Structure 1
Amino acid sequence: MSALSDEAEYPSPDVSFVVIGYNEARNIAACLDSVRRCPLPRTTYELIYVDGGSTDGSRTIAEGVGVDLLLGGERRRRAAENRNLGAKSAQGRYLQFIDGDMVLDPDWPAAAIGFLDLHPEVAAVYGNLQEINTRILFRVMQLDWNPQEGPVATCGGAAMFRREAFEAAGGFPEDVRYGEEPLLCWRIRNEQKRLIYHLNRPMALHDIGFRHIEDYWRQYVRHGETYAEIAARCAGSDDPMWVRERTTNFGWALVLLLAVVVLITAPLSAKAVVAALVILMVLRKTAQMLRRGHGIAVSMGYAVFVYVSKIPLAWGQIKWSLSRKRNQSGQSAT
């Protein structure tokens, strides 16, 4: 990996922090303050806040905290639109996107900048998200946010991008419902032949905001819709992203539902067999997580979680497919 050769292509600042938020009055001040507290002695930066049409005073709070550029707020915008709006006004060589419900780790920006400076083949880098809520469910969920260090297929919305790579890919796609991050990463990897990279170091604290089981259900139904849409967009390409995952989500959801039916209605002998198979599945996944260094409670919780989540994921995929059919029927009728 060689040193970055196009360092002078963009003028200062070195990095633009683009923070987006919608009704984040509870979190936005801490988020913006965390950027200002980052030690960047030899790095120039700008702080941009883009409001997605908040009605709780988030924009006023951001103005009071102090940002270099305040955008948005006049109407409701989705995350992809907000990030693109901020990126269009940004001047930095690097773009660090942050959500308003996050608190940036003070050492992250310098580490990310240093890594990108050294590795021109990497277009975007991100680190570990740590959920603020430490209950077992949240500790389990964040395992999927923080894979092993190295190249990955996709990252979330919080990451540091090279501006030239981001612009060459067209920014975050605004013509998808939820999957703008994976589709952007897919374009970078396939069109530019550059890497998306995960660093195994803290990037930010995150408040996912789940308070009830309905929050979990809605989030994973939405993830299912994302799987379906991105799989449909990438199907038939040399990199059919999430096509396999879309199939396995359906398959495991069907297996789980059949297991429930058997456990409720079948004779005792059949119930015993199914129960034993379910236990073996959970133990196998638990063992995998233990080998990766996680504790027994988190490993077992993840084993249960990863299978149960297939049901809302599959339902989200079905919802997206039905919605697409309705839209296609409406277009053909006109």
Structure 2
Amino acid sequence: MTSGKIGVVAIGRNEGERFTACLASLDGFAGPVVYVDSGSTDGSVEAARAAGVEVVELDMSRPFTAARARNAGVGRLRAAGLPDYVQFVDGDCVFAPGWLDAAATFLDTHPAAAVVAGRLRERFPERSVYNRLCDAEWDTPLGQVDACGGIAMMRASAFEQAGGFREGLMAGEEPELCLRLRQAGGEIWRIEADMALHDAAMTRFWQWWRRTRRAGHAFAEGYALHGKGPERHYQREVRRILLWAGALPLAILILGLINGHWARYALAIYPLQVLRLSARLGMERAFFLTLGRFAEMQGLLDFWRRRLSGAGAKPYDK
């Protein structure tokens, strides 16, 4: 395993056995590993130290974000001499065999690449519809892309020059960093190699709803930062949410006050949208994608309310 030039930053909170499996997937890796904990009470800190991993315990009196945790991990690596590449991983993931070597080799041979990610798959898609939705979400195009997720290997020099993650972002910190890396001339790649297995452990509707709501917040926040720039960051996503969970429901409500029969006909727009999407995505994904616009709208409203009130970051629970 190519370990001398790679450092690993893992973040987590009360991941339990999932974090134990994450550590086990690093067996044989000789490079530096930093675990950044955000207030775990399940023994994760002790498990990391027992495995010889350096631990950073965040001061939870300050607002916690994943971006802040990842930056703290890189800061600890930097104190001992920053490696060439930093692999970020969440504590609910396990690495695929050979991934770290494959990623480092890609960065070695592609000097313009700032970030490389591989195939992320859901570990137990059969356990719930919500896990299956995650698995479908991870199935993204290969090649040069606009953004990665939270599991990726980054060129440390590019990460440093970009200033790292924007710590105030509650979500969507990886696409925002990727945007800045691309603006600086860096490339973002997703390659065919298996990268990791993710364990969403979502078995209840409200877990899915909170996760989708958080995505809506990320779209709104990303759009507020870069939506009017040449990248039009998240412009399409915000407009789609406003249409399907804002303008159309309002129009149907007004129509209902004028003529209830026409309002009932107008409501058929939503099942028709599900049918249209199902031809490409399947009925299950089409249904939840359409329903999810309302959770995303709630996230948009969360962002605007917090921005108007001046409230700081307050992450959603998993």
Task: Specify the TM-score bucket, using the shorter chain as the normaliser.
Answer: 0.7 to 0.9
* Distance in 1 (alpha carbons) for counterparts of 2:43 and 2:112: 41
Whether the 8 Å CA contact 2:270–2:290 is kept in 1: the answer is no
| Structure 1: gaps of 5 or more residues | 1-11, 39-43, 290-298, 329-334
* Distance in 1 (alpha carbons) for counterparts of 2:136 and 2:193: 14
- Offset, 1:128: 2.2
1:313 aligns with 2:296: yes
- Offset, 1:45: 2.4
One-letter code aligned to 1:178 = A
SS in 2 for 1:128: strand
- Offset, 1:274: 4.8
Instruction: Find the counterpart in structure 2 of residue 176 from structure 1.
Output: 169
One-letter code aligned to 1:164 = S
| Structure 2: gaps of 5 or more residues | 312-318
Instruction: Find the counterpart in structure 2 of residue 70 from structure 1.
Output: 55
- Offset, 1:234: 0.6
One-letter code aligned to 2:35 = Y
Q: Deviations over 1:276-300 (max 9, x none)?
A: x5444323322223xxxxxxxxx22
- Which of 169, 191, 199 is the matching residue for 2:191? 199
Root-mean-square deviation over aligned CA pairs: 2.6
* Distance in 2 (alpha carbons) for counterparts of 1:111 and 1:183: 25
Identity across matched positions, percent: 36
Instruction: Find the counterpart in structure 2 of residue 102 from structure 1.
Output: 93
Instruction: Find the counterpart in structure 2 of residue 239 from structure 1.
Output: 231
- Offset, 1:93: 0.7
Instruction: Find the counterpart in structure 2 of residue 83 from structure 1.
Output: 70
- Which of 20, 30, 33 is the matching residue for 1:47? 33
Q: Deviations over 1:247-276 (max 9, x none)?
A: 11110113664698689x943x8746753x
* Distance in 1 (alpha carbons) for counterparts of 2:308 and 2:143: 38
One-letter code aligned to 1:136 = V
- Offset, 1:305: 1.6
* Distance in 2 (alpha carbons) for counterparts of 1:95 and 1:19: 10
SS in 1 for 2:310: helix
SS in 2 for 1:173: coil
* Distance in 2 (alpha carbons) for counterparts of 1:148 and 1:272: 37
How do 1:7-26 and structure 2 match up within 5 A?
Answer: 13-26=4-17
* Distance in 1 (alpha carbons) for counterparts of 2:306 and 2:142: 37
Q: Deviations over 1:79-130 (max 9, x none)?
A: 2222112112323211000111111111211221121112122110112222
Instruction: Find the counterpart in structure 2 of residue 252 from structure 1.
Output: 244
* Distance in 2 (alpha carbons) for counterparts of 1:119 and 1:137: 36
- Offset, 1:136: 3.2
SS in 1 for 2:26: helix
* Distance in 2 (alpha carbons) for counterparts of 1:151 and 1:223: 23
Instruction: Find the counterpart in structure 1 of residue 203 from structure 2.
Output: 211
* Distance in 2 (alpha carbons) for counterparts of 1:256 and 1:114: 49
- Offset, 1:179: 2.7
Instruction: Find the counterpart in structure 1 of residue 222 from structure 2.
Output: 230
- Offset, 1:78: 3.0
Q: Deviations over 1:129-177 (max 9, x none)?
A: 2222323332223322221112222211111000001111111111222
Query: Structure 2 length normalisation: TM-score?
Result: 0.84
Instruction: Find the counterpart in structure 2 of residue 303 from structure 1.
Output: 286
SS in 1 for 2:153: strand
Aligned pair count reads 299
* Distance in 2 (alpha carbons) for counterparts of 1:177 and 1:79: 7
Whether the 8 Å CA contact 2:115–2:154 is kept in 1: the answer is yes
Whether the 8 Å CA contact 1:129–1:145 is kept in 2: the answer is yes
- Which of 129, 141, 145 is the matching residue for 1:136? 129
Instruction: Find the counterpart in structure 2 of residue 146 from structure 1.
Output: 139
